[in-house]
Amino acid sequence: MPRYPVDSSDWKLIGSDRVSAIGLGTWAIRDPKAAEDVMVEAVESGLVNLIDTAEMYGNGSAEEVVGRVIRRVGRDRVFVTTKVLPYRFTDEYTVEKAVRASLARLGVREVDLVLVHWRNPKLSAGEQVRILEKAAYEKGLARYIGVSNYDTGELEEALTATRSAEVVVDQVHYSVLHKEPERTGLLDLAIREGVTIQAYTPLERGEVARHPTVRRVAEAAGRTPVQVALNYLISRPRVVAIPKTENRSHLHEILGSLGWRLPPELIEELEAI
């Protein structure tokens, strides 16, 4: 049997909010208008409501693209995640200022989720989260807070550091070819504590489509390698995948990873990679 029970739902929980098992990322946007149109189409499909961005992406320009998407589809149809750079964590005021700048670029009064982008080595994992809690959550600028690139020990520390907010997400590199969250116990911790894992680089910049095992499983399942790679992730409890695309046909392929699940024997083949 597969290592984890198969989650058959295409909707996951972040806090008490339902978000799509597939979200869209905004790192390294090449064509802002194409990216905007693809995100609008994804949201209007009714299958996607989660968009991930960060102040670092395009020096804020990715947040501006997401802001245009929100204005086109309506605020209540998009769950927005953004992130604060580590060097901002010198004091509460500096983090608050950064979050407010993100909100201005997004054109919203509050963001749904704000993350520590990665660890500031000058602070403990807990200290950094506590600053974010005070600067964003307690000021009403974010509905939820979380972390990114935190390992198992760092997430454990972060979970006990907050006073008024829960840490609801750890966004990490996770794919069928990069299973560190499984190997290190991070996914087990997340499942146990009710933390959602947002998997970035889930397609390994096209590498999953060339991997022989992924290709063999895709042929057996009657799906594409991209769809198989994403379906593997969202079959895990508490896992959301956030691929990035600016191409409509690629979007349709990505959306084709929803609405079904690989059989246990094929999941086991992918687990063995």
Please indicate, yes or no, if residue 227 is contained in any of the structural domains.
no
Is the residue at 8 inside a domain?
no
pLDDT at res. 2: 95
Question: For position 133, what pLDDT does the model report?
Answer: 98
How many C-beta atoms lie closer than 10 Å to residue 76's C-beta? Answer: 8
DSSP alpha helices (H): ranges in 74-176? 92-106, 125-132, 152-159
pLDDT in tens, the chain (273 residues): 999 999 999 999 999 999 999 999 999 999 999 999 999 999 999 999 999 999 999 999 999 999 999 999 999 999 999 999 999 999 999 999 999 999 999 999 999 999 999 999 999 999 999 999 999 999 999 999 999 999 999 999 999 999 999 999 999 999 999 999 999 999 999 999 999 999 999 999 999 999 999 999 999 999 999 999 999 999 999 999 999 999 999 999 999 999 999 999 999 999 999
245 in a domain, yes or no? Answer: yes
pLDDT score for 253 = 98
Give residue 36's pLDDT.
98
Of residues 83, 270, 52, the one with CA closest to residue 182? 270
Q: Answer whether 85's CB lies under 8 Å from 55's CB.
A: yes
Question: Does 177 fall in a domain?
Answer: yes
107: left (phi over 0), alpha (psi -120 to 50) or beta: left
Name the residue with tokens 């499984």. Answer: 182
Tokens standing for 259? Answer: 């609405």
Identify whether the C-beta of residue 36 lies closer than 8 Å to the C-beta of residue 245. Answer: no
Whether residue 211 lies inside any domain: the answer is no
- State the pLDDT at residue 61: 98
How many domains is the chain partitioned into structurally?
A: 1
Q: Which residues fall within 8 angstroms of residue 95, CB to CB, at 6 or more apart?
A: 84, 88, 89, 131, 132, 135, 136
Give CA–CA dist 251/213, Å, rounded.
23
pLDDT at position 150, please?
98
* Among the listed residues 246, 177, 239, the one whose alpha carbon sits nearest the alpha carbon of residue 207: 177
The string of pLDDT tens digits covering residues 81-119 is 999 999 999 999 999 999 999 999 999 999 999 999 999
Domain carrying residue 179: 13-205+238-259
Q: How far apart are CA 117 and CA 115, in angstroms?
A: 6
Q: Extract the tokens encoding 263.
A: 């059989």
Does 233 reside within a domain?
no
Residue 38's domain is classified under what CATH number? 3.20.20.100
Query: For the whole prediction, is pTM greater than 0.85?
Result: yes
The two tokens of residue 84 are: 């604060």
Give the 3-state secondary structure of residue 212: helix
